[in-house]
Amino acid sequence: MDRNKPHLFLKNRAQFISYTYPGVVIDPFSVPNRIRSKHGKKLRGELSSIQNEADELSKKREEIGLQKQRGITVEIEGVPGYELRKISLDNSIFQLLSVHTKKINGKILEIAVVFIPDGSLSKFIKKIDEYLKLNNKKSGLPNNNNLIASIETIRKAALDSLWTDAPSLFPKNDLPVWWEVWLATRQDLEEDVLDFFSINAKAFNLNIRPGSIKFPERYVILVNGRKSDLAASFDMLNCISELRKPKGTAHFFITAPQSEQVQWSHELIERLITPPEDSPAVCLLDTGVNHGHPLIEQFISEDCILSVKTDWDGSDSNGHGSGMAGIALFGDLFEKLIDTQDIPILHFLESVKIFETGNDYEPDLYGDITSRAVSKVELIRPDRNRVFNLTVTTEHGMDRGRPSSWSAALDSISSGYMDNDFRLFVISAGNLPTSEINNYPNCNFDAEIEDPGQSYNALTIGAYTEKTQLDQDETTQFSPIAPSGNLSPYSRTSLKWQHDWPYKPDLVMEGGNAATDEQGFVSQLDSLMLLTTSHQHSNNHFTITGMSSAATTLVSSMGAKIISKYPTLWPETIRGLLVHTAEYTELMKKTLPSKPQKSDKQKLLRTYGYGVPNEARAIYSANNVLHLIAEEKIQPFHEVTTGRTTANHLNFYSLPWPIEELRKLGGEEVELRITLSYFIEPNPARRGFKNRFQYHSHGLRFKLKRPYEDLKTFRARINKDDQNEDYESSESTEAGNWFYGDAIRTRGSLHHDRWLGTAIDLAERNAIAVVPVGGWWKDRKSEDRGNRDARYSLIVSIHTKNSDIYTEVEQKIKTDILI
C-alpha cells in the first residue's frame, strides 16, 4: 500500500452563496429595578461634579501651555450580577477605553473606563434627563433605561482605574517603574496621539522606551516613571486608555554538556544531505546562534544571524538558541548519531536574537521586538518561506488567557494586518521549573501557559515525553516522574484560564522527563532529556535540552518540512495540517472516563491540545488515508445601503467523495476529520471582549451535510437565504459520533473535529459549507473592515482500515479539471 501520496487540493471548487444566519439573535439584557427619580437625580449630580472637575483641568492645561484637550475620562461602575450596557458607552458621545471586573459576594461587578469628549458631558446629562422625563413609546419604560439603569455610579477616573492586569500587580509605592501604556486613538487624532504623548511626557518626568505596537484604535508603548507623575500626565494629556504590567522574560537553564567525541560530529556531517537553495527555513527568535559549530554552520549563512538591537551581535552566550538550532535541524541528536543512514536536511536556519542573557530584569515591549525581528530577517531573505520559532516566554499568572500586547502583536503580524503578508509562528507554552515540580501532574494543571502562548493565530506547543529509560548508574537512585506517553513534568496547561479563550497548547511534542529520588527530590537527568548542539563547541560539541522549547522547535521543523514538500501552501494550511494529523497517545486517551462529558474533553484539550503531530501523515496521504485541502477566501460581511454591516456569503463545497468505495465498505468503521484554520486580526483593548469589542476580527465555522438530508435541506438548515416560506427547522444540533462536537470545537481560530461512523453513513455526508460568524470587523465601522476578504484553509480527510479511497477521488478531481 502506497503511503507517500501527495495530498489532493480542491481548487476553485467553492460556490459563493448569499448568506443570512438562520437563527434568531436575542439580546437578553436585564437591568436592576430602579426608583427612577432618585436614581436619575443621583447620576445627574455626579455628572455635574465631573463637569466642574473637567473645567478645572481645562484651566490647568492652559496654565502649563497645553493645547485645549479633548474631554475627560470617567469610571462608570455597574451593579454586581448585572452587565453594564457597554454597547451604549461606545458611540459618537462616548469612547469605551477598557472594562475590568471584580467579584462581590460571588457576583461579577463590571467597571468601565470611558472617555467623554469636550461638549459631550452635556449630551450625557441630556440622556439622564430623558430617562427622568420621557418614556419609550413601545416598551413603556423610561428612555435610555438599559444604559442608565445599568449604571450604579459615575466618577472621574483615577490612575488605578486604567489598570487591567491583576490588582495585586499595581505598583504599591511611588518609585520609578516601567509601565505598559496603551494610548487610545480617535479618527481625528490617530496620526498624532503617539507624537503628542511622546512630546509632552518629558514635562511629567516620564521616559519612553523606543518602539511601539499599533493595533486597531490603540498604540502600546513602554513608559518609565513614578505613579504620581503618570497620574498627573493622565489628567493633563488625557490619552491613556489602559495600563498593564510590562513583561520580563523567563530564564533558561541549560545543564552542563555531555562529553562526546568530536569525531561523532564529523561522522554525522558526512551523512548529511544539504537542502536546495530555494528551501524554506526555521527562523529562531531566541538568544542567538553560534555559527562556528560544525553541525550548524553549513545550514545557516552568517548574514542570517541577526540581532534585533543594534548594540547586540547575533552570537549566543546563553546556549539556548544554539541548542534549538540543533533540535531544528536534527531533532534529538542522539538518534542521528547512532544511525548509519544518510540524513536529508530539508530546510535552512535563520536566527534573530531577541533576548540577551543578563537583561531579563529589564522589561521590554516584546511585541515590538518580535515585529522588528521579523522585518530584519525578511529584509535579508524576502523570497524565502519560513516558520518562526519563538521559545522565549514571560512569567506566568498575569493574563489567565486574556490577550497581552505581545500575544496580540503575534496575531497581528501573522494575520498580515499591517502589510498583508501572512506568517506562521510556533511558540512555546513555557516551562515549569524543576524546583516547582511536585505532586505530578497536579502541579502542571495549576501552572498556566505563559505569555505569549495565548495567541490565537500561533501554534502553541506543550511537552509530553516518551523518555523513561535511565542510565544504569541512575536506576538505583532515581525513578522517572512521568510515564511514557504522558505529559512532561515541565509542561504547562490552560486549565486555569477563563473558559472563553482558545484551548492551549495546540499540540504536544517530546520535551523530556524529570526524575525523583526516594526522598522526593526532583532532578533533571541527561538520560531523560534531548541531545543537541552546544554553544561552546570548542569545549564540547553536545549538550542536553528539553522542555517546551525543544518540543516547540521539533514542531517548527515539521512545519518547514511540509513547506519543503508543498512550497506554495499558506501558513494557515501548515498550521492546520499539523493539528489535523495529530493523535493522542494511549495514555492520554486513558485520562478520559468511559463516558466522557464536555468538561472531560475540554480538560484533555487544555492539557494536551489535539495530541502529538504525525509528520508522515502531515506530509503525505495514502491509499487508505485521503487528505483534501481547500485554500480559499471569503468575505464574511458587507456594508448594506443603510450603513449596517451584515453577513455576506458562505462558501459551499460538493465534496468529490469516494462514494462507490464507501458503499462497498457498508458498515465498516471509518474516520472523518475536518479542520478549519484561519487567522484573525486582533483588537486587544480590554473592553469586555463582547459584541463590537470582540478580540477577533471575524469567525468562521464549518457545517457538514447529514446523511438523511438532500442538498436543498442542508442549505436551508444552515442559511436563512435558502429557506422558503414552508421551511420547518429540524433539530439544530447533531452530536452523533463527533469526538468534540460543535459546543467544544469553536474556540479560537482553529477548529478541528473527528467523526467515527460507518462508511455507508459517511458516503452521504458529501457536502460542506464554511459560514461566517461575528467579530469586530462587523461592528467597528470606524476601522473600515466591513468589506474585507478573509482567507481560510479547509482540510477534510477520510481514514479507512485498508481500502483504497484515494484513487477514486484523485480521478474525480482530474476529470473535473479537464472539464
* Helix or strand holding residue 250 (H, E): none
What tens digit of pLDDT does each residue of 583-597 get? 999 999 999 999 999
d(CA 748, CA 778): 17
Q: Which three cell numbers stand for residue 165?
A: 492586569
The pairing of strands 790-799 and 669-677 is: antiparallel
Under a CB-based contact definition with an 8 Å cutoff, are residues 679 and 572 in contact? yes
Pairwise pLDDT comparison (629 vs 131), residue with the higher score: 629
Q: Give which of 152, 262, 147, 733 is closest to 533, Cα–Cα.
A: 262
What tens digit of pLDDT does each residue of 600-646 get? 999 999 999 999 999 999 999 999 999 999 999 999 888 776 667 78
Q: Is residue 470 pLDDT above 50, yes or no?
A: yes
SS3 label, residue 354: coil
What tens digit of pLDDT does each residue of 566-575 get? 999 999 999 9
Under a CB-based contact definition with an 8 Å cutoff, are residues 397 and 437 in contact? no
SS3 label, residue 738: strand
d(CA 328, CA 323): 9
- What is the structure's pLDDT at 249? 42
What tens digit of pLDDT does each residue of 186-210 get? 655 545 788 888 888 888 889 888 8
Q: Is residue 434 pLDDT above 60, yes or no?
A: yes
- What is the structure's pLDDT at 64? 73
When pLDDT is averaged across residues 533-558 and rounded to a whole number, the result is: 91
When pLDDT is averaged across residues 710-728 and rounded to a whole number, the result is: 72
Q: Is residue 421 pLDDT above 90, yes or no?
A: yes
Neighbours of 198 (CB within 10 A): 16
β-partners of residue 773 are 699
Q: Which three cell numbers stand for residue 536?
A: 561552546
d(CA 148, CA 40): 8
- What is the structure's pLDDT at 116? 82
Question: 177-244 architecture in CATH?
Answer: 2-Layer Sandwich (3.30)
- What is the structure's pLDDT at 504? 96
Pairwise pLDDT comparison (459 vs 184), residue with the higher score: 459
Under a CB-based contact definition with an 8 Å cutoff, are residues 496 and 432 in contact? no
CA distances from 559 to 5, 331, 412 (A): 18, 13, 20
Percent of the chain with pLDDT over 90: 48
Domains 177-244 and 257-608 share a fold: no
Name every residue whose Cβ is closer than 8 Å to that of residue 8 and which is 6 or more positions away in sequence.
621, 626, 627, 628, 629, 806, 809, 810, 813
Cell 457576583, residue?
Answer: 107
For the chain, domain boundaries: 8-29+624-816, 36-149, 177-244, 257-608
What tens digit of pLDDT does each residue of 11-44 get? 888 888 887 767 655 556 788 888 898 998 999 9
Q: Which three cell numbers stand for residue 435?
A: 524546583
What tens digit of pLDDT does each residue of 250-272 get? 322 233 333 434 677 888 899 99
Give the per-residue SS3 of 608-668.
Answer: HCCCECCHHHHHCEECCEEEEEEEEEECCEEECCCCCEEECEEEEEECCCCHHHHHHHCCC
Task: With cut-offs at 50, 70 and 90, classify the pLDDT of residue 172.
Answer: confident
Pairwise pLDDT comparison (538 vs 635), residue with the higher score: 635
When pLDDT is averaged across residues 471-478 and rounded to a whole number, the result is: 72
When pLDDT is averaged across residues 478-488 and rounded to a whole number, the result is: 93
- What is the structure's pLDDT at 485? 94
- What is the structure's pLDDT at 267? 83
Q: Among 215-219, 475-479, 653-657, name the most confident range.
A: 653-657
Under a CB-based contact definition with an 8 Å cutoff, are residues 96 and 112 in contact? yes
What tens digit of pLDDT does each residue of 284-340 get? 999 999 999 999 999 999 999 999 998 899 999 999 999 999 999 999 988 887 777
What tens digit of pLDDT does each residue of 33-78 get? 888 989 989 999 998 888 888 888 777 777 777 666 567 888 999 9
Q: Is residue 692 pLDDT above 70, yes or no?
A: no
- What is the structure's pLDDT at 782? 61
Give the domain 257-608 fold.
Answer: Rossmann fold (3.40.50)
Q: Is residue 178 pLDDT above 70, yes or no?
A: yes
- What is the structure's pLDDT at 15? 86
Q: Give which of 248, 368, 217, 245 is closest to 695, Cα–Cα.
A: 217
Q: Give which of 192, 254, 190, 175 is closest to 535, Cα–Cα.
A: 254
Q: Is residue 800 pLDDT above 90, yes or no?
A: yes
Percent of the chain with pLDDT over 70: 90
When pLDDT is averaged across residues 101-108 and rounded to a whole number, the result is: 86
Task: Out of 106-120, 539-553, 593-607, 756-770, pick the least confident.
Answer: 106-120
